[in-house]
Structure 1
């Protein structure tokens, strides 16, 4: 699967990302390397430890990356979790975090087929 086909699978706008980042080769390279990024793993560890200050830092980074790469579903879920952590609102934290996990895993699943 190509990077463009990957974007279709996740219902994201590949051409918009290329326009924003101004270079198709860079977009393709960054997207393929996304699965190697450790931010999500760090977020998982921080959430496991209930270190919400660190969790905020990692989810905020993941939110920015998602926005830049046009991963709109992941962006939305990370944005919700980011704001809860920023404002020390923990009532729905577990379900918000589970949504982030689901959206992240969907991207990783499709990325495994990108060549």
Structure 2
């Protein structure tokens, strides 16, 4: 992997070494899944759900995003979606807007790196 790209990935909150291990050092496979993430619509769906205050619908989408972010090593996004899932399970929805705002700050960093691939 190009060192500049690796640095950009790390700066965007991607745990590159751990993720490469998870993908058995198959860079092409990782790149394939990174590009699939960029095409995924779950972030937009989550934004729509939160904007409409349908908080009961947040958990399945946040859980999906948490899993994908965990597998791809998106540490910051994983933490945010994990917190979102925990709050939903406790039926505490007061922080959903704040948590989604945090995710919206981190998400473009990941997408910007993926677009460089």
Same fold (TM over 0.5): yes
**How many residue pairs align between the two structures?**
114
| Residue segments in structure 1 that go unaligned for 5+ positions in a row | none
1:100 equivalent in alignment to 2:103: yes
Runs of 4+ in structure 1 over 4 Å off = none
- Equivalent position of 1:54 in the other structure: 57
Residues in 2 aligned to 1:109 and 1:28: alpha-carbon distance in whole angstroms: 14
- Separation (CA, whole Å) in 1 of partners of 2:100 and 2:27: 32
TM-score by length of 2: 0.83
Question: Where do 5+ consecutive residues of structure 2 fail to align?
Answer: none
Instruction: Measure, in 2, the Cα distance between the counterparts of 1:33 and 1:4.
Output: 19
Selected match of 2:82 from 79, 85, 92: 79
Match of 1:15 in 2: 17
CA contact 1:59–1:82 (8 Å) conserved in 2: yes
Secondary structure of residue in 2 paired with 1:62: helix
Contact 1:43–1:58 (Cα < 8 Å) also in 2: yes
CA displacement at 1:8 relative to structure 2: 2.7
**Cα distance in 2 for residues equivalent to 1:104 and 1:76:** 12
- Inter-partner Cα distance in structure 2 for 1:65 and 1:4: 19
The 3 A distance-change label for structure 1 pair 100 and 14 is same
2:40 is aligned with 1:42 = no
State the superposition RMSD in angstroms: 2.0
